[in-house]
Amino acid sequence: MKKKINISTGFTITPISFWMILLVAIPLLYIVFISFMQRGDDGGIVYIPTISNYTKMANPLYVKVFWDSLVVALVTTVFTLGFGYPFAYFAAKIKKYKIIIMLLIMAPFLTNSLIRTYGWIVILSTGGVLNHLLIKIGIIKEPLKMLYSYFAVMIGMIYTMFPFMVLPIYNSIDKMDKTYIEAAKDLGASRWKTFRTITVPLTMPGIVAGCILVFIPSVGLFFIPDLMGGSNVMLIGNLIENQFLSANDWPFGAALSIVMIFLSLILILIYVKVIGKKLDTEVF
């Protein structure tokens, strides 16, 4: 019986493993490989080993780009969590309009992200809708320069990544065992204490999943800083894009990509470890 189970499991895993190796492992290994090569005078790859692509990142300019990227990703994660958790919490409570709420959450995915970004450009531009409204109300006298700034990039990031935070939290709250909450109320716990000691720990898997789904793409997104930040904002995603498409320096672009992946994984591991320990102490 065990042999049959192992054979069937092998047949199931083999195709997945093959495609993962072909489409993920091999391209990643190639990126690692060319990150240790040199750029030729004609923009090609010279297969002479070097670590200069990595040592070059010690330049304060590149350090600042990495730092800005991590800060933008962190702020995006914090704001999407701050807005997304209450939204998901109350959405899960309103059972009657569950389908409508889910459609509202999924609606942004039905439109191309570039089109939605251009929509924000129209809203935040000097002659845009927001400035026109603020002048009309009398809050400001002259148009504010909101576009092509970190503020505009943050707005675009938060708007784009919001559904990625809401969906896992909503799923976690919706499937939460309500008997714990009822027991806490029976024992005289206040709403805030019940929420803090029961609801939040039980929905922590959704919070962690949402933060990871938001943080990782936010580090590497390049089209939002390109469109809404212009030349005033340079993040790691833009820098990598420029190395591959404009500067034709594939080895340096590959090295930047590897370091970005490495930093993201370290931060995620730290986050999961800290949250895991905190969750254990709160539950037990």
Q: In the predicted model, is pLDDT for residue 104 greater than 90?
A: no
On the CB side of 156, CA atoms within 13 Å amount to 32
Q: In the predicted model, is pLDDT for residue 146 greater than 80?
A: yes
Q: Write the CB contacts of 228 (distance below 8 Å, at least 6 apart in sequence).
A: 117, 120, 121, 124, 147, 148, 152, 153, 155, 156
The CA-atom distances, in angstroms, between 196 and each of 181, 191, 219, 281, 282 are 11, 9, 30, 13, 10
**DSSP 8-state symbol, 41:** T
Range of the domain at 172: 59-283
Report the C-alpha gap between 71 and 225 in whole angstroms.
Answer: 14
The CATH number of residue 223's host domain is: 1.10.3720.10
**Residue 129, in any domain of the structure:** yes
Average pLDDT for residues 251-268, to the nearest whole number? 88
Tally of structural domains, the chain? 1
**Residue 174, in any domain of the structure:** yes
**Residue 239, in any domain of the structure:** yes
pLDDT at 81: 94
Going by pLDDT thresholds of 50, 70 and 90, the confidence category of residue 280 is: low
pLDDT in tens, 26-54: 989 999 999 999 998 887 888 999 999 99
pLDDT in tens, 213-251: 899 889 888 889 988 988 788 899 899 989 988 888 999
45 strand-pairing partners: 39
pLDDT at 126: 86
∠ CA 111-114-118 to the nearest 5 degrees? 105
**Residue 51, in any domain of the structure:** no
Q: Where are the alpha helices (DSSP H) in the chain?
A: 2-20, 26-34, 52-55, 60-93, 98-106, 113-124, 129-137, 150-174, 179-186, 191-194, 200-202, 204-220, 223-224, 236-245, 250-283
Higher per-residue pLDDT: 2 or 172: 172
The CA-atom distances, in angstroms, between 89 and each of 81, 92, 94, 106, 194 are 11, 5, 9, 16, 14
Q: Which two tokens stand for residue 74?
A: 């962190």
**Residue 224, in any domain of the structure:** yes
Going by pLDDT thresholds of 50, 70 and 90, the confidence category of residue 157 is: very high
**Residue 227, in any domain of the structure:** yes
**Residue 14, in any domain of the structure:** no
**Residue 66, in any domain of the structure:** yes
